[in-house]
Amino acid sequence: MTRTKNLSAVFLAVGLAAGLSACAPAGSNSEEEGEASSCNVGISMPTRSLERWINDGEGLKEKLEAKDCTVDLQYADNKTDQQISQIQNQVAGGAKILVVAAIDGETLGPTLEDAKGQDVQIIAYDRLINGTEAVDYYATFDNYKVGQLQGEFIEEQLGLAEGEGPFNLEPFAGSPDDNNASFFFSGAWDVLLPYVESGQLVVPSGKSPASNDEWTSIGILGWESADAQAEMDNRLQSFYTGGEKVDVVLSPNDSLALGIEASLDAAGYQPGSDWPLITGQDGDVANVKAMLEDRQSMTVWKDTRELGTQVETMIDALVAGEDVEVNDTETYNNGVLVVPTYILDPVVVTKDTVESQLVDSGFLEAGEVGL
C-alpha cells in the first residue's frame, strides 16, 4: 500500500476563511451548512469487552457533559444490528452529532444517510465508515503506522536487517470487517514480507499472506481473544509437532495477543526461556502486566484521551458553527469520498517504558499493573 500524506500541515476541512468568521460553515456535507448544531451527542461504541472502548466512550462522555452537552453513550456488544438500532434511537431521541466507532465499516451507510437527512453531523471515531457520503469527519490514530511500528520492532529485535535468521513466525490479522485491520496488516507486512520472501522468516503453518490484499485469510473476526487462542492452538498442534518452536508472533492488538499468550502457556512455552517475541496494541492492563512478566514484548499505545480531546474539539467547532480542524485530506478514502481526518501518532511501549510512558502520563495507575 502506498500512502503519501503530510502530517505537519494542518488543513481546515471546510471554507477558506477559517478563524475569520464565527459562523463559517461546519460540516462538509451538511444540508444546512453554516448552521450551528446543538450539543446533543450520540456516542456509539462497538463493545464493552475491550478495555479501550470503555475508556474511549466514558472519557468522551465525561468531557462533553462537563460542558453541558446532552450525551447518550451506547455499546453494541459487537453486533451490527444492535449498533444500527442504537444509532436510530439516538437520532430519534434528538442527537444532532453522532460519534461512531463502527463494528462493521461497510454496513452503517443507510442508517447514517437517514441521520444526515435529519441534519445530524457524523464523526467516524477510530474506525472509518465506508461506502457512504454520510461521514463528515474522521478522527483516528495513524493505523498504517501502528502496523509499521510492530513490523519494525520485530525487524530490530531479531536483527533481520543485519541478515539474522531463519526464525519461525506466526502472523495474525484483525477483524475482516474492521477498516483499520487492513492498515495494521499492511503496515507490518510491508516491513516483514521481504524477510519471508528471503527465507529469514519462515511461517511453518503456511498462514502467510502472499500480499497485503490477502490479509483477511488470517483475520480473527470480532477481534476475539478466544478465537485467536483456538487458532494458535491449532497452528501449534498441527505444525509444530517435531520439536520446532515459534520464535515470533505478529499480533495486531492486545486482545488477540492475550489469546495467543494463553495458547503458548498451554503448549508449555516458558517466559524468559523459549517464549516468543509477541506484539500488541492498546496498552490494556492485562497486556501491560504481561509485558512486565515477559509474556508480551511490546504494545503500540494510542492515548485514547488525546483522541477524545480531538473529537471534543471537532464537536465544539460543529456546535459553534465554525470550521473543523483536520490534518489529513488524502489518506482515508471510504469509496465515496476522502474523509477529512485528524490523525494522531501511536507510540511503542515496552516493559522498560511502562512507567515513563503509561504511568507517568496518568494513562494507567502503577497499582493496576503491580508496579
Binding site for ligand BGC (CB under 6 A): 50, 52, 126-127, 178, 180, 223, 253, 255, 281-282
- Residue closer to ligand BGC by CB (options 185, 195) is 185
- Residue closer to ligand BGC by CB (options 15, 46) is 46
- Residue closer to ligand BGC by CB (options 30, 281) is 281
Q: How far is the CB of 167 from ligand BGC (least distance, A)?
A: 25
Do 178 and 132 meet the contact criterion of CB atoms below 8 Å apart?
no
Q: What angle do CA 189, 195, 201 make, to 5 degrees?
A: 100
C-alpha pair distances (Å), 316 with each of 29, 183, 300, 328: 17, 29, 29, 19
Q: Give the closest residue to 203 by CA, choosing from 218, 225, 223, 186.
A: 218
Q: How far is the CB of 102 from ligand BGC (least distance, A)?
A: 9
Q: How far is the CB of 253 from ligand BGC (least distance, A)?
A: 4
Cα separation, 144 vs 71, in Å, equals 31
- Residue closer to ligand BGC by CB (options 52, 295) is 52
- Residue closer to ligand BGC by CB (options 165, 176) is 176
Q: What cell numbers appear for 198 in the block?
A: 528471503
- Residue closer to ligand BGC by CB (options 188, 317) is 188
In a 13 Å sphere around the CA of 249, the CA atoms on its Cβ side amount to 34
Beta bridge partners of 97: 41, 121
Cα separation, 6 vs 23, in Å, equals 28
- Residue closer to ligand BGC by CB (options 27, 147) is 147
3-state secondary structure 292-348: HCCCCCCEEECCHHHHHHHHHHHHHHHHHCCCCEECECCCCECCCCECCEEEECCEE
Q: How far is the CB of 143 from ligand BGC (least distance, A)?
A: 7
- Name the 3-class secondary structure at 122: strand
Q: How far is the CB of 129 from ligand BGC (least distance, A)?
A: 12
Closest-approach residue to ligand BGC (CB): 253
Q: How far is the CB of 227 from ligand BGC (least distance, A)?
A: 12
Q: How far is the CB of 332 from ligand BGC (least distance, A)?
A: 13
H or E segment to which residue 278 belongs: strand 277-278
